[in-house]
Amino acid sequence: MKEMKWAGNTMPESDDRWLSVMSEENVKQAKAFHMGFPQYSVTPLASLGGLAEEIGVGGVYVKDESYRFGLNAFKVLGGAFAMAKYIAGEMKKDISDMTYDYLTSPEFEKDFGHATFFTATDGNHGRGVAWAANKLHQKAVVHMPKGSTKFRFDNIAKEGADVTIEELNYDDCVRLAAKEASETEHGVIVQDTAWEGYEEIPSWIMEGYGTMSKEAAEQLSDAGVKKPTHIFVQAGVGSLAASVVGYFSNLYKDDPPKFIICEADAAACIYKGAVLGTGEEQVVGGDLQTIMAGLACGEPNTIGWDILRNHADYFLSCPDWMSARGMRILSAPVKGDTRVISGESGAIGVGALVSIMKNEEYKELREKLGLDSRSQVLCFSTEGDTDPERYRAITWEGAWPSGEQK
């Protein structure tokens, strides 16, 4: 049986200069932008009381992003906001001027003209960028890594983007998109990973993701939960994870929740950095084969890494069966609980939580995390069935059974 690996955070703290990216003020600005879209609605927060009782915690709450803007994933929050911030800067306007009605108007097209937005994606981010570019009458070029599914390719192409599947892994697709953007007139790369010299747009993407966290915090408060005691959040390059960790660290400065970062074991670059313990970033190369396509990223976002090394508590390297377990649990819930359709990259938080609580081999981690009947646990299901064939293979046919590697 392929086991989950874990590491506590023993890294030295940095100057923490990037935490302010996820300030309440910045996230308020992003949420106000998103609320202007006619497609906007608050996505559900499923309260899984039956599951909580089953595994021995006080509460389990799952933010269900399968409803986001009709795109079946949260990623559009970051891409759309970053594109609007970029356009506002080019036009020397404030983001508050970038309303949906203006951005989709003939007046805007006349004022701004056209840009080409380049990106690399496993599917969800690229679809969000393509969707936003389509609404804004802009161009999008999207590169996908080898192994990407036709269904995800087709969803991006439907938005009018120029999309390719390359014989490259995700991180090399990022480099290709950056190169092409630099060689294209009015070309700009919109990527949620960051590197030295490319930090502004990734920080805006993270702020855009903050809408999801802000909604969740408000929903928990409405449900009578003062604050979550534990947050499980998944990481690819770490932008989402750092967005969540950064937002809740700012929101609960004096008593933050415990943050548990979940990665696919084939691409666990952040976990490897935690194991090293020096604060230096680590890189994972190769094909990064995992069912968690959205997490198949081997090079961490420098901004995200800095936030996580300062504020995350534990780092998990998770086998594929654990994600599949989470998908099945959410698809066939305890009686009375809400069903959540969660894809491979969306369900790993729940899969990890249940495994920690139910599997005896993780008892030590359970105790270190202080997970017990008083715990209020928040997870983020970041995508729905974005690959329907694989979703059914896992939830209907039992592919990737618990404890078995395929």
Residues 372 and 124: their CA atoms lie apart, in Å, by 34
Q: Bridge partners of 8?
A: 314
Q: Got the DSSP string for 10-25?
A: -PPP---TTGGGG-HH
Region of 238 on the Ramachandran plot (φ > 0 left; ψ -120 to 50 alpha; else beta): left
- Is residue 122 flagged as an active site residue? yes
Contact 315, 9 (CB under 8 A): yes
247: Cβ contacts below 8 Å, ≥ 6 apart: 22, 24, 27, 210, 213, 214, 217
CA-based nearest residue to 21, from 261, 300, 242, 301: 242
Contact 126, 104 (CB under 8 A): no
- Is residue 75 flagged as an active site residue? yes
Among candidate residues 64, 122, 320, 337, the one labeled active-site is 122
Start-to-end CA span in the chain (Å): 11
Contact 34, 81 (CB under 8 A): yes
Among candidate residues 31, 63, 75, 272, the one labeled active-site is 75
Other CB atoms within a 10 A radius of the CB of residue 53 amount to 16
Q: Got the DSSP string for 264-284?
A: EGGG-HHHHHHHH-SS-----
Residues 376 and 60: their CA atoms lie apart, in Å, by 6
| Residues tagged active-site | 75, 122
